[in-house]
A and B are shown apart, each in its own frame.
Chain A
Amino acid sequence: MIAGFTVAQVIVTCVAGLLCTVLGLARRRPNDLTLGALVVVEVLLLAQLVIALISPALGNQPHGSVPLFYVYLISALLIPPLAVFWGLIERTRWSTVVLGVAAFAIAVMVVRMQQIWTP
Chain B
Amino acid sequence: MSGAQNTETPEAASGAAPARRPGAGVGRVLVAVYAILALAATGRSVFQIIDRFGEAPVAFLLSALAGVIYIVATIALGARLRTLALVTISIELVGVLVVGTLSLVAPALLGLHSLDPFGRDSTVWSAFGAGYLLVPLVLPVLGLLYLRSGSARGSARGATGQAKA
**Inter-chain contacts of A92 with B (CB < 8 A):** 17, 20, 25, 28
Given A71-B43, A92-B20, A93-B11, A101 contacting B29 (CB threshold 8 A): yes
The answer to whether A98 and B118 have CB atoms under 8 Å apart is: no
Interface string of B48-78 (1 = CB under 8 A from A): 0001000000000000000000000000000
> Which of the listed residues B26, B29, B118, B133 has the most CB atoms from chain A within 10 Å of its own CB?
B29
Beta-carbon contacts under 8 Å, B98-133 to A = 118, 133
At the interface, is chain A mostly helix, strand, loop or mixed? helix
**For the complex, what is the distance from the CA of A61 to the CA of B26, rounded to whole Å?**
43
> Is A68 an interface position by the 8 A CB rule?
yes
> Is A63 an interface position by the 8 A CB rule?
no
> Is B145 an interface position by the 8 A CB rule?
no
The answer to whether A98 and B28 have CB atoms under 8 Å apart is: yes
The answer to whether B25 and A79 have CB atoms under 8 Å apart is: no
> Is B79 an interface position by the 8 A CB rule?
no
The answer to whether A75 and B39 have CB atoms under 8 Å apart is: yes
Q: Which residue of A lies closest to B44 (CB)?
A: A71
**For the complex, what is the distance from the CA of A108 to the CA of B51, rounded to whole Å?**
23
Q: Which residue of A lies closest to B27 (CB)?
A: A94
Q: Which residues of A contact B (CB under 8 A)?
A: 27, 65, 67-68, 71-72, 75, 79, 83, 86, 90, 92-95, 97-98, 101-102, 105, 108, 112, 115
Q: A72-B43, A98-B29, A102-B36 are known; give 17 further A-B pairs, CB within 8 A.
A: A27-B11, A68-B51, A71-B47, A75-B39, A75-B40, A79-B39, A83-B32, A92-B17, A92-B25, A92-B28, A94-B25, A94-B26, A94-B28, A95-B28, A101-B29, A101-B32, A108-B133
